[in-house]
């Protein structure tokens, strides 16, 4: 089941597994009261901030050996793999995640630089067409800086980019789940695989789910000539060596009415382990108005209404484990939100989730002590943590 492609229902895409709560469950959550007043958290966490992009790291020896990644805010990442292949995922530098410059979810944190200050990239990968992941102005600006960068999108998104950015047809590749495409960049083979996500799509009322949503795997391998000794040493065999393997989850839920979404363990089995995974930990821009009004959703309402579309921090920790991530950075939080309370809420929940996970594995009680340092925890093998917007990190490929 988890290997199946999305199905089309008329002009719409649907997840191939059961992914929605029943009307009765939703009604029950509404009747119980889905909102609660924001009150101080039991633990204090330092919210993320925007720092100046330190892009010199990309030229360092450290960066040449492994994965180099900069959080551009929300789900946007600049990543360099195998020392020279550069990819941007889901960038948004605009003030609002909206079709309008006047209304719609507004930035809480500034972008870390201007799009023209980013280094030139080879690829721009987009997970789906929601405004907070596909921002036309940002893509125009990045395209101006990297005019030959190739765009990778899920089915149904290509026409929008070709039209808005005036791109030649062969500069955009659109893929169905589990389909892949390879490129050769200076003797490095770069392979992209369009992998599943549990989400939806749409930029207006009339195009809901008309385009596909996805996550992306990007892996690099280099070939080194090797003498074939068995055949008298005359022929040369080319040995492929994987040099980097990363996963960007896009925007996704993890929960289904019958348990975890099966797609993530399938991705992990087929393509893991990953040197780096970028995983959403919040509902992003969609409900920032609640934070502005001083409210939070109750845990039950979040579970019923949102967990099939968006991963909570707890879901994200399970998702990272399913895909077999060696290092995971949380994203899709803190950038478009309505209040400082909302910028802290996912971090408080992430701390809880990591402590609970630690207790489950070691059998020890955390006693409510929140000893995990979220800014360091991603460095551990199997670790999950966060960085600031604009911060650049390096990870050695295993």
Q: Is 251 in the site for Zn ion (CB under 5 A)?
A: yes
Q: Is the backbone peptide bond immediately before 273 cis, with ω within 30 degrees of 0?
A: yes
State which of positions 66-95 bind Zn ion (CB under 5 A). Answer: none
At closest approach, how far in Å is the CB of 134 from Zn ion? 9
At closest approach, how far in Å is the CB of 133 from Zn ion? 6
Determine the distance from the C-alpha atom of residue 135 to the mean position of all C-alpha atoms in its chain, rounded to a whole number.
15
Nearer to Zn ion, 130 or 324 (CB): 130
Rg of the chain taking only CA atoms, in angstroms: 21
At closest approach, how far in Å is the CB of 270 from Zn ion? 24
- In this structure, the strands spanning 295-297 and 35-37 are antiparallel
At closest approach, how far in Å is the CB of 45 from Zn ion? 25
Alpha-carbon distances of 200 from 15, 25, 128, 203, 210, rounded to whole Å: 9, 20, 8, 11, 9
Taken in order 112, 310, 348, 290, the sign of the CA dihedral is positive
3-state secondary structure of 152: strand
At closest approach, how far in Å is the CB of 274 from Zn ion? 22
Burial class of residue 274, CB neighbours in 10 A (0-12, 13-18, 19+): buried
Q: Is 296 in the site for Zn ion (CB under 5 A)?
A: no
Nearer to Zn ion, 195 or 245 (CB): 195
At closest approach, how far in Å is the CB of 117 from Zn ion? 26
Select the span of 88-96, 123-131, 145-153, 236-244 touching Zn ion (CB under 5 A).
Answer: 123-131
Nearer to Zn ion, 251 or 355 (CB): 251
Nearer to Zn ion, 253 or 383 (CB): 253
Alpha-carbon distances of 318 from 241, 281, 313, 356, rounded to whole Å: 29, 11, 9, 11
Binding residues for Zn ion, total number by CB under 5 A: 2
Nearer to Zn ion, 197 or 374 (CB): 197
Q: Is 341 in the site for Zn ion (CB under 5 A)?
A: no
Nearer to Zn ion, 34 or 253 (CB): 253
Select the span of 21-29, 95-103, 248-256, 389-397 touching Zn ion (CB under 5 A).
Answer: 248-256
Select the span of 172-180, 222-230, 249-257, 317-325 touching Zn ion (CB under 5 A).
Answer: 249-257
Question: Which candidate, 337, 372, 379, places its Cα nearest to that of 353?
Answer: 372
A 10 A CB-CB count for 232 gives: 8
Select the span of 126-134, 238-246, 327-335, 364-372 touching Zn ion (CB under 5 A).
Answer: 126-134
Give the ranges where the chain is alpha helix by DSSP (H).
23-31, 61-65, 136-145, 158-165, 263-271, 288-292, 299-301, 313-322, 340-362
At closest approach, how far in Å is the CB of 262 from Zn ion? 20
Select the span of 58-66, 244-252, 345-353, 368-376 touching Zn ion (CB under 5 A).
Answer: 244-252
At closest approach, how far in Å is the CB of 197 from Zn ion? 9
At closest approach, how far in Å is the CB of 32 from Zn ion? 26
Listing DSSP states for 275-321 in one string gives SEEEEE-S-TTTTHHHHHTTEEE-HHHIIIIITTTS--HHHHHHHHH
At closest approach, how far in Å is the CB of 300 from Zn ion? 22
Nearer to Zn ion, 105 or 268 (CB): 105
Nearer to Zn ion, 251 or 349 (CB): 251
Q: Is 130 in the site for Zn ion (CB under 5 A)?
A: yes
Nearer to Zn ion, 135 or 251 (CB): 251
Nearer to Zn ion, 134 or 220 (CB): 134
**Which tokens in the block code for residue 285?**
């821009």
Question: Which candidate, 73, 77, 78, places its Cα nearest to that of 93?
Answer: 73
**Residue 150 parent element (H or E):** strand 150-154
Question: Which candidate, 368, 383, 253, places its Cα nearest to that of 310?
Answer: 253
Select the span of 8-16, 243-251, 347-355, 388-396 touching Zn ion (CB under 5 A).
Answer: 243-251
Q: Is 310 in the site for Zn ion (CB under 5 A)?
A: no
Q: What angle do CA 131, 51, 118 make, to 5 degrees?
A: 60
Q: Which residues here bind Zn ion, judged by CB under 5 A?
A: 130, 251
């Amino acid at each position: 089941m988890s290997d199946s492609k999305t199905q089309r229902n008329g002009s719409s895409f649907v997840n191939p597994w059961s992914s929605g709560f029943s009307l009765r469950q939703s009604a029950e959550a509404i009747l119980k009261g889905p909102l609660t007043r924001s009150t101080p958290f039991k633990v204090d966490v330092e919210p993320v901030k925007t720092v100046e992009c330190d892009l010199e790291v990309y030229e360092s020896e450290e960066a040449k050996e492994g994965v180099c990644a900069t959080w551009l805010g929300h789900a946007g990442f600049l990543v360099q793999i195998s020392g020279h292949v550069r990819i941007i995922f889901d960038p948004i530098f605009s003030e609002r995640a909206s079709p309008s410059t006047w209304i719609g979810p507004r930035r809480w944190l500034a972008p870390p630089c201007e799009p023209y200050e980013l280094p030139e990239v080879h690829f721009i990968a987009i997970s789906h067409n929601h405004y907070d992941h596909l921002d036309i102005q940002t893509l125009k600006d990045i395209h101006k800086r990297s005019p030959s960068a190739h765009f990778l999108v899920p089915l149904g998104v290509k026409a929008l980019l070709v039209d808005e950015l005036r791109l030649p047809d062969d500069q955009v590749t659109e893929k169905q789940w589990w389909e892949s495409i390879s490129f050769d960049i200076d003797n490095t083979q770069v392979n992209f695989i369009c992998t599943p996500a549990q989400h939806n799509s749409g930029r207006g009322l009339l195009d809901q789910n008309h385009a596909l949503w996805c996550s992306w795997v990007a892996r690099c391998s280099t070939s080194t000539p090797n003498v074939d000794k068995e055949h008298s040493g005359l022929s040369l065999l080319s040995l492929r060596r994987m040099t980097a393997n990363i996963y960007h989850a896009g925007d996704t839920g993890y929960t289904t009415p019958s348990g975890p979404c099966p797609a993530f363990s399938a991705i992990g089995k087929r393509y893991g382990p990953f040197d780096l995974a970028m995983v959403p930990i919040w509902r992003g821009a969609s409900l920032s108005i609640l934070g502005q009004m001083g409210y939070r959703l109750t845990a039950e309402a979040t579970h019923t209404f949102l967990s099939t579309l968006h991963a909570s921090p707890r879901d994200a920790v399970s998702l990272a484990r399913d895909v077999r991530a060696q290092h995971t950075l949380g994203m899709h939080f803190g950038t478009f939100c309505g209040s400082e309370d909302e910028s802290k809420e996912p971090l408080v929940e992430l701390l809880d989730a990591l402590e609970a996970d630690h207790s489950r594995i070691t059998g020890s009680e955390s006693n409510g002590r929140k000893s995990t340092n979220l800014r360091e925890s991603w460095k551990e093998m199997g670790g999950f943590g966060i960085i600031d917007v604009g911060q650049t990190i390096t990870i050695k490929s295993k």
